[in-house]
Each structure stands twice: as C-alpha cells, then as structure tokens.
Amino acid sequence: MHFLDQAKIYIRSGAGGPGAVSFRREKYVEYGGPDGGNGGKGADIIFEAVAGLNTLIDFRYTQHFKAPRGGHGMGKNRNGAAGKDLVIKVPVGTQIISDEDDETVLADLTEAGQRVTLLEGGMGGRGNASYKTSTNRAPRQHQPGIPAEEMWVWLRLKLLADVGLVGMPNAGKSTFINKLSNTKAKVGAYAFTTLRPQLGVVHHKNREFVLADIPGLIEGAADGAGIGDRFLGHIERCRVLVHLIDISSTDPVEAMQVVEEELEAYGGGLEDKPRLVALNKIDLVDDELAAAYARELLKAGADEVFPISGATGKGMSKLLDAVIEYLPAATVTERPEGEQEEADEKPWSPL
C-alpha cells in the first residue's frame, strides 16, 4: 500500500430542497386550499477519524465529494426527504486545512471515532401551505431552499506516535525499530532506505507505546536536500525523540549537530521537544572508543548518552527505561484483595 500524507479535495454540502406550490382539487371537497409541502434539508459533509488507516492514498483517486440535496416538497402536504449525510473517513491524526491560506486548521482529528461536521447542508424551503393565513387563503409564494456550501481543503496526516526516531541516513533506525517491534522496515547498506514513516508497537516492562521511524535527515534538508524535512510533521505529536547516532560515522558530534540544526530549522515545536541521544552500533567498536565518543557528545550538549546496539540489543533496556519516563503513567485496574485467590480455588464447571 502506497503512503500518502497530503491530499487536496473538493467538498460540497447538499442544497435544501425547494418548497412546493400546490392546491387541493378533490371532487367532493367544496373548499380546496394550499397543500404544498416543505423541501428537505440538504446533507452535511462530515469527517470521521477511523482506526486502521495510516495513509491518504484513497484521496488521490477520489477528490470530489458532493453530498445529496434535499428532496422537493410535494402536494398533499408532503415534505421532501432530507439528504443522507456524506461521511468521509480519514486516518486518525488527520488535519483539515483551509485552501485559502494553507495554514488555518479547520479541524484536527486525533481520536478514533471523532467526528467533525465541516459543511452543513442547506435548509429546505417552505411550501405554500405554510404561508396560509386567515387573510391569505390561496398563497402562491414558496422558498427555493438554502444553497449548498462548497470549498477546497487540504488533508494532512500527522501520524500519532509516542516516541519519534530521528537521525542521519544509515544511523540504524530501521534495524532499531525492527528489533523492538514487528515492523518490517527495509534495511540496506545505502542511504535513504526508509522513504516513508514506519510505525511499530514496543512492549517494555508491561508498558506499551508507539514508535515512529522517519526518513533520515542530512545537512540542508530544510532547503530540500535529500528527501527534505516534510516527514518531520509525523513526529510533532511525539512526547520524546530518540536521536540515533552511528558510532562508525566520521564524526558523531557533527552528525548530532546537523540533525539538531535541521530540527530547529523545521520548527513546529521540535526544537523544544525532549531528546534522548543513543550512540548506536557499539558492537562494531571497543568499549573504550564508545566511552570516548559518549564523553564528546556530552560536551557537545547532550544531556545523557545511551550506548546501544540495534543489531544485538545491547543497552536497549536502559534506553527504553528512560523513554517510558516521558510517557503518561499507565492505568492499571487492580483486583480487590482475595478475589483472584477465590477465583482460582473455585472448581471449573461448564455451567
């Protein structure tokens, strides 16, 4: 399945149905009168966040969404049917942005099941029966119904993850996420093996969190170098970032500074987000060299350095312990004392 995190679509709500102009003409009714019904309400445009979606690829092939209009009013005081609301399902984490300035966020869907009515359908028009009065026995006026609303909007997906994984290409991010989760991220001995964000669920000490891996950053990514920095939007919602540095690179300190500068250039609050620096691939060097590089990173501004090996898993537990300190406390439902013991002692019965 292709990954797409941005799409532009056209939406239009349903117009209200017009009211009817009608009069009773029954053979054995001496006095007739107006009996035109009201028009039906037009359908709304509703966006709903659903679980199980992680791409906007469907909106590449379907870009126009038009809700049905309300039904016409009819004679015999029959009102028009209301249009059925058009529900557009999007992934959790989708932002709806105005096309006028490409900045105004009209809605931010961050929870599964969340619904937002973006455009309301027009009200149906009044039929001539509603205009009847004691002095106006045969009105012919009616309302045509409220017109539909329409607009172009941008859909931008920002994946929901607790922890974001950043670093330069070949820092070992794909190996790292594959080691901790069931993700099948591509691993290769060349730059930019990761071309789209990857999500993985990590379990550690009875805790569970979502880890996001994004394409690597190089110097000048904010100006479009490499893959650019557009994918950084997927870690804006993370609680903490894990900065992975390859110990076998030419200069780990320079690698850390390059990524830090790109995060600051991107903005979006990433420059102020807490970061954990992980010195990766320590299985390729001796302990003395790893300790020396760790001291250099601390002098360069890192708060704490975690020497790890994504391939062997060495040092990963300590890093994950630090990660879960930034996550909200887990809610554990405890059993009343003695309840578990009584349940265990009770003999099994099929009834």
Pick the closest to residue 249 from 318, 151, 170, 310 (CA basis).
Answer: 170
**One-letter amino acid for residue 69 of the chain:** R
Evaluate whether 231 touches 214 at the Cβ level (below 8 Å): yes
Q: How many CB atoms lie within 10 A of CB 117?
A: 13
Collapsing DSSP to helix, strand or coil, 299 comes out as helix
| Residue 346 DSSP code | S
H/E stretch holding 155? strand 150-157
Question: CA 97, CA 25: separation in Å to the nearest integer?
Answer: 54
Compute CA distances 78 → 75, 275, 310, 346, whole Å: 6, 65, 70, 65
Residues at the annotated binding site?
Answer: 167-174, 192-196, 213-216, 280-283, 309-311
Q: Where is the binding site for GTP, in residues?
A: 167-174, 192-196, 213-216, 280-283, 309-311
Which residues are paired to 108 by β-bridges? 95
Helix H or strand E encompassing 339: helix 339-345
- CA–CA distance from 162 to each of 123, 179, 182, 277 (Å)? 43, 17, 17, 16
Q: Could you give the C-alpha distances from 227 to 29, 193, 266, 309, in angstroms and in order?
A: 79, 11, 14, 26
Do 229 and 216 contact (CB within 8 A), yes or no? Answer: no
SS3 335: coil
Which residues line the annotated binding site for Mg(2+)? 174, 194
**What amino acid is encoded at 334 in this protein?**
E
Please answer whether residues 279 and 305 qualify as being in contact, where contact means their C-beta atoms are separated by less than 8 angstroms: yes
Contact 60, 42 (CB under 8 A): no
